[in-house]
Amino acid sequence: MSNSNFIDYVKICCRSGNGGSGSAHFYRTRGIPKGGPDGGNGGRGGHIIIKGNKQLWTLLHLKYTKHVFAENGESGSGNLKTGADGEDKIIEVPLGTVARNTETGEFLCEITEDGQQEILVKGGRGGKGNDHFKSSTFQAPRFAQPGEEGVEEWIIFELKLLADVGLVGFPNAGKSTLLSVVSAAKPEIADYPFTTLVPNLGMVYYRDHRSFVMADIPGIIEGASEGKGLGLRFLRHIERNALLLFMVPADADDIKKEYQILSDELKKYNPELLDKKRILAISKSDLLDDLMIEQTTPSLPKNVPHVFISSVAQRGVETLKDMIWKILNEET
């Protein structure tokens, strides 16, 4: 995914169709000048529907879509003919998309399966024709019900990446390098912070034709949960990951402290993230010899499994993949 093509947030004005009016028609034919009411009902207005599409990875196709209007239902007519329903408008989105009402912030729906459909804005109901109102004591109603008006709402679409493993770390921790080594993904890599400005997904192939999905989340900084740096923009992607892979470089001043800062930022953003399984990977470990690794190990967090890796030197990468696969499949 190139930086300019990754769109994970759009806001669209969605308006459903008006319901068609009922008909106040009376049956008339040769020889029957005063027939009874035979007005049909109006058709339903079109819905605005959201649909999951596994072939989509971003909301790029909706970037310049500001309005989506469904068609109005048609009016009923004589001979008890019901008006046609208005055509629904379907908005296709990638899996992992959440829809919210812009004004209230109300959660509307979440798309997690291919082909899943949810109605975002319901079309107006069609009005009843005069035939609906006739009775034994009221045989000639000369009125019909108007159609219900459609609804106009601004909807926010947010994409939260669906991945098995989410890479969490400060800028320049080696996340993109690891992803490029274990998968076919080609994220931008450079020797300066904030090289990664958008999330990247990679399919990691494991033994016996098995695989899992890894997501490289743009670097977190202290205060990200308050909006600093790239802030809240990409923290939401971490919510969907089954396993969090914390990455701290071996040349960090205090590995345990950096890990704790990252953990605290996730806790401030969403305390439920603390319940996710996690692994600590000390990257760039080619800078350490065996003695330095032995001296560093006792100072690492006690309650988190850890592994020393070097993506460039291919050190510890297979061990890391084994740990990831084991943890991902512990419950099954």
Tens of pLDDT along the chain (332 residues) come to 444 556 788 999 999 999 999 999 999 888 888 889 999 999 999 999 999 998 888 898 998 999 999 999 999 999 999 999 999 999 999 998 999 999 988 999 999 999 999 999 999 999 999 999 999 899 999 999 999 999 999 999 998 877 789 888 888 778 888 888 888 656 454 444 444 456 777 888 888 888 888 888 775 655 544 544 444 556 767 777 889 999 999 888 889 999 998 888 888 888 888 888 999 999 988 888 888 888 888 888 888 999 999 988 888 999 999 999 999 887 54
Could you tell me the pTM of the whole model?
0.69
Which of 299, 287, 208, 223 shows the shortest CA–CA distance to 257? 299
Please give the pLDDT value at position 331. 57
Instruction: Map out the domains of the chain with their CATH numbers.
Output: 1-159 (2.70.210.12), 165-328 (3.40.50.300)
- Identify how many contiguous H helices and E strands the chain contains and give both numbers: 5, 14
Please give the pLDDT value at position 222. 57
Distances 108 to 156, 233, 265, 270, 282 between C-alpha atoms, Å: 10, 20, 27, 20, 40
Please give the pLDDT value at position 196. 46
**Distance between CA 310 and CA 173 in Å, rounded?**
11
* Alpha-carbon dihedral sign for residues 138, 139, 140, 145: positive
Please give the pLDDT value at position 191. 47
Please give the pLDDT value at position 1. 41
Distances 197 to 6, 172, 292, 298 between C-alpha atoms, Å: 10, 12, 33, 34
* Alpha-carbon dihedral sign for residues 162, 167, 169, 173: negative
